[in-house]
Amino acid sequence: MIKKLQDLIKQKSIAGLLFAMPALLIIGVIMIFPIGYLFFLSFHKWVGHPVWNGVSNYVSIFQDGNFLKSLFNTFFYTAINLTLGFALSFIFALMMNQAKRGIKFFRAIIFSPVVMPTVVVGSIWMWLLNSSFGVVNALLKRIGLIASNIGWLGSSWMARLSISAVNVWLGTGLTAVILLAGLQGIPKSLYEAAKVDGANAFQQFVHVTIPQMRGIIIIALILKTIGSFKTFGQIYVMTFGGPTYSTSSIVFYLYREAFSFFNFGRAATMSVVLFLIVITLSVVQLYFRSED
């Protein structure tokens, strides 16, 4: 009897390993090995094959003005997403939580950009912001806000702000839906108790909503940060990083470095920077999620 049981367990463990093997193999080859290889490459120069290069890639990328510019742009996009984007998401979530009708329509609209390819979003906005025949210029002229057409993607700051606006449009839906789920999870009794204590709407928001939402707010902020660090497709179609790298992101810059200039070593080093930032943020997020 005991032997039979042992046999069964043994069989079970072999079966288990076999069942998990194909998935483990693919994840191992496509995700895990490349992580190690990435760090390896970051200490090498690529001349068709890797040649040891020490830390010189790490020194050189931080002396590269255009990489630093791309790093700055990425942080700038992140900052706009976390302030303006997050505020809008929160307002939208609160409105959806209060309204009785229009929710489905609204949620479908703000979530649509999330399921669209980023190059599609970029293409649409490139047309909207077209300096000669764009509808944004046309509408602003019609209501008299501007006298002549604006080149939205033509100058450094204008382009940077335009891309930031597109990022906000693109990412608000996802954050709003996450926050809405958080709002719906707050027990109604807490609000009623607060009301009995004489709290007005604003006080209820500060003393019930915010503390109850703490975990989910942090998760949403970190997810938004991670998303901002991956910005690529919209830049590729709208500005191709220009004018003179003023809209280039980390991902766009490392893509160009690797696949236009074939400096795999330096590009790998930039990827390590991206990797470490995102992983750190994810670990922090995981911590809050488990606490939640």
Q: Hey, which residues between 45 and 74 contact another protein (CB under 8 A)?
A: none
Q: How far is the CB of 83 from another protein (least distance, A)?
A: 18
Place of tokens 């001349």: 47
Q: Contact with another protein (CB under 8 A): which of 67, 77, 86, 92?
A: 92
Q: Contact with another protein (CB under 8 A): which of 146, 203, 240, 287?
A: 240
Residue 188 contacts by C-beta under 8 Å, 6 or more apart in sequence? Answer: none
Task: Please report whether residue 278 would count as binding another protein according to CB under 8 A.
Answer: yes
Cα–Cα distance for residue pair 153/34, rounded to 1 Å? 36
Q: Contact with another protein (CB under 8 A): which of 61, 93, 150, 268?
A: 268
Q: Tell me the two tokens of residue 35.
A: 């992580």
Q: Contact with another protein (CB under 8 A): which of 174, 194, 208, 213?
A: 174
User: Which is nearest to 119 in space by CA: 283, 238, 25?
Assistant: 238
The contact mask relative to another protein for 97-116 (x = CB under 8 A, - = no) is: -xxxxxx-xxxxxxxxxxxx
Q: How far is the CB of 195 from another protein (least distance, A)?
A: 9
Q: How far is the CB of 35 from another protein (least distance, A)?
A: 7
Q: Contact with another protein (CB under 8 A): which of 7, 17, 187, 192?
A: 17
Stretch that binds another protein, among 55-63, 117-125, 154-162, 186-194 (CB under 8 A): 117-125
Stretch that binds another protein, among 66-74, 77-85, 204-212, 247-255 (CB under 8 A): 247-255
Q: Contact with another protein (CB under 8 A): which of 66, 232, 242, 243?
A: 232
The contact mask relative to another protein for 186-225 (x = CB under 8 A, - = no) is: ------------------------------x--xx--x--
Q: Hey, which residues between 147 and 166 contact another protein (CB under 8 A)?
A: none
Stretch that binds another protein, among 70-78, 119-127, 150-158, 186-194 (CB under 8 A): 119-127
Cα–Cα distance for residue pair 215/203, rounded to 1 Å? 20
